């Protein structure tokens, strides 16, 4: 059994054991959808390494007193983050007008209730897992301060956090402005993080012009 499978089975069973809601428990006992499992296997677990504060098939009430379920709810300290896996068939090719309007209304009502959503296309999970990992890191960065190695100094640690919060490469100039240090100091911090394998070049070879997070 792989490390992912071990963590996944423990996490899913824990959710089943503690849930007193018969509707959600029944959904969980049937097992999660293929797209959700692949997202957890290929994106979430490699990027985050655990399932803390993540809840599958989270039940919410809509404004019509009906029940809705979010594929994955991310709720550290009471925050409301929702992740939904969008399969091409049910969400695009086969989406009729009624279902399309219902989907838009659902997302609108949840947004008004304070939810922040991250829709992930199933095809992106399969074809572009590294990009999805980057989006997940930026997503959770909106809710918590992401832990970094205690072997880094504060400038290096904040640079990693800053890079994780963005969905694009960073330049030495904008890092210098963020850290309130000189361009030379920013370049030294970035070079150090490349050396230890946390960042890599996004553009430039002889002289790196921009940097991005290195995903393992």
pTM, two decimal places: 0.70
Q: Is the pLDDT of residue 120 over 70?
A: yes
| Residues listed for the chain | 216
Distance CA 28, CA 16 (A): 6
Q: pLDDT for 175-215, tens place per residue? A: 999 999 999 999 999 999 999 888 889 888 878 999 988 76
CA 37 to CA 99: how far, in whole Å? 24
The structure tokens listed for 130 are 């590294």
Average pLDDT, the chain: 86
> Among 38, 41, 14, 44, which residue's Cα sits nearest to residue 118?
44
pLDDT tens string 61-119? 766 667 888 999 999 878 899 999 987 655 455 556 677 777 777 777 777 778 888 99
pLDDT score at 39: 97
Residue 71 main-chain phi, psi, to 5 deg: -50, -50
pLDDT tens digits, one per residue of 15-69: 999 888 899 999 999 999 999 999 999 999 998 889 999 999 999 876 666 788 8
């Amino acid at each position: 059994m792989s490390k992912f499978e071990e963590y996944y089975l423990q996490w899913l069973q824990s959710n089943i054991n503690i849930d007193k809601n018969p509707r959600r428990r029944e959904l969980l006992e049937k097992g999660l959808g293929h797209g959700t499992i692949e997202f957890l296997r290929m994106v979430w677990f490699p990027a985050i390494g655990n399932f803390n504060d993540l809840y599958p098939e989270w039940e919410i009430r809509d404004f019509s007193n009906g029940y809705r379920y979010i594929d994955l709810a991310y709720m550290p300290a009471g925050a409301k983050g929702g992740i939904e896996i969008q399969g091409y068939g049910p969400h695009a090719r086969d989406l009729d007008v009624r279902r399309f309007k219902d989907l838009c209304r659902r997302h609108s009502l949840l947004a008004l209730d304070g939810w922040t959503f991250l829709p992930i296309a199933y095809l992106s999970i399969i074809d572009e897992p590294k990009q999805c990992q980057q989006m997940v890191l930026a997503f959770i960065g909106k809710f918590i301060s992401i832990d970094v190695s205690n072997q880094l100094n504060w400038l290096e640690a904040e640079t990693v956090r800053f890079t994780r919060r963005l969905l694009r490469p960073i330049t030495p100039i904008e890092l210098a402005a963020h850290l309130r240090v000189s361009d030379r100091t920013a370049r030294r911090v970035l070079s150090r993080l490349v050396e230890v394998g946390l960042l890599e070049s996004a553009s430039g070879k002889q002289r790196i012009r921009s940097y991005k997070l290195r995903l393992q």
